[in-house]
Amino acid sequence: MPPPALHSAVLDAVGRAITSGDIVPGTPLTLESIGTQHQVSRTVAREVMRMLEGLGLVRSRRRVGLVVLPMAEWNVLDPRVIRWRLAGPGRDEQLRTLTELRHAVEPLAAAGAARHASAEQRAELVDLADRMRVLGARGDLTEFLALDIRMHELLLRASGNEMFGALAAVVAEVLTGRTHLGLMPAAPVPEALDQHEAVARAVADSDAAAAEAAMSALVGEVRTALDAAGPVGEHR
């Protein structure tokens, strides 16, 4: 329903080219080259450039053009950057680091949710866990994914800390990426279902310590599963 939006298409193309490594850091681009390359006017190239600058992918310098920045400067927590990088090479490494981040954040967020969640939120969490079990048994991965995302988003947003809430988009990208990349088993393993239910229950019971432990176990499980499934990115 939103019209294709020209500049966002160009942004996507250039963003992918940079994050995938097709354009090496240090390479200078020009508005002219972007414009002609994507059949687009100078003005929209400028807007795209501003957005890329906001994502930390490039820096604009006079007389020199847009220099592509090294990865250390990238806004690797921005959902767009995550999506691009999950689609390119190094997605295993990407999933590893993101899962580690989840391991740091989500247990504390679950504990926070156990303390601060509203009655409606607690009820929805339990309901979600139940429906996940049903859908998991049926093997409907896309619907399961939607519930999974919803549950983690709910937990992060109910944590009483907007910083955790801001990471909901990150987790959503990770989950969808993991599913679409075929890294999920055909049917969710029973442990995962149990752990989701344990988290929901602990939050519903306002048991912060239990919620934190359950969430920690859940993400830890994901971590070992990732290590077992795709140890492709052997580095050093």
Contact residues toward a copy of itself (CB under 8 A) are: 3, 7, 43, 46-47, 50-51, 53-55, 62, 71-72, 74-78, 97-98, 100-101, 103-105, 107-109, 112, 157, 161-167
Q: Which stretch binds DNA (CB under 7 A): 56-64, 116-124, 134-142, 196-204?
A: 56-64
Going by C-alpha positions, the residue among 137, 167, 138 that lies closest to residue 153 is 167
Residue 30 within binding range of DNA, rule CB under 7 A: yes
Residue 46 within binding range of DNA, rule CB under 7 A: yes
In the shown chain, the binding pattern of residues 1 to 20 toward DNA, with x for contact by CB under 7 A and - for none, equals xxx-xxx-------------
| Cα–Cα dist 227/89, whole Å | 17
| Cα–Cα dist 155/166, whole Å | 12
CB of 112 or CB of 188, closer to a copy of itself: 112
Q: Which does 78 bind (CB under 5 to 8 A by kind): DNA, a copy of itself, none?
A: a copy of itself
CB of 52 or CB of 95, closer to DNA: 52
CB of 224 to a copy of itself, least distance (A): 16
Residue 41 within binding range of DNA, rule CB under 7 A: yes
| Cα–Cα dist 34/190, whole Å | 49
Helix (H, G, I), strand (E, B) or coil at 45: helix
Question: Mind spelling out the 3-state secondary structure of 98-109?
Answer: HHHHHHHHHHHH
CB of 43 or CB of 142, closer to DNA: 43
Q: Which of 18, 31, 68, 170 binds DNA (CB under 7 A)?
A: 31
CB of 43 or CB of 118, closer to DNA: 43
Q: Which residues does residue 68 pair with via DSSP β-bridges, in sequence order?
A: 58
Tokens for 219, please give them.
């993400």
Amino acid, single-letter form, for residue 154? L
Tokens for 145, please give them.
């994914």
| Cα–Cα dist 160/111, whole Å | 10
Residue 29 within binding range of DNA, rule CB under 7 A: yes
Tokens for 74, please give them.
């990238």
Residue 54 within binding range of DNA, rule CB under 7 A: no
Helices (H) and strands (E) in the chain, counts: 11, 3
Q: Which does 69 bind (CB under 5 to 8 A by kind): DNA, a copy of itself, none?
A: none
CB of 27 or CB of 97, closer to a copy of itself: 97
Q: Give the count of residues interacting with DNA (CB under 7 A).
A: 25
CB of 48 or CB of 147, closer to DNA: 48
Going by C-alpha positions, the residue among 109, 81, 112 that lies closest to residue 174 is 81
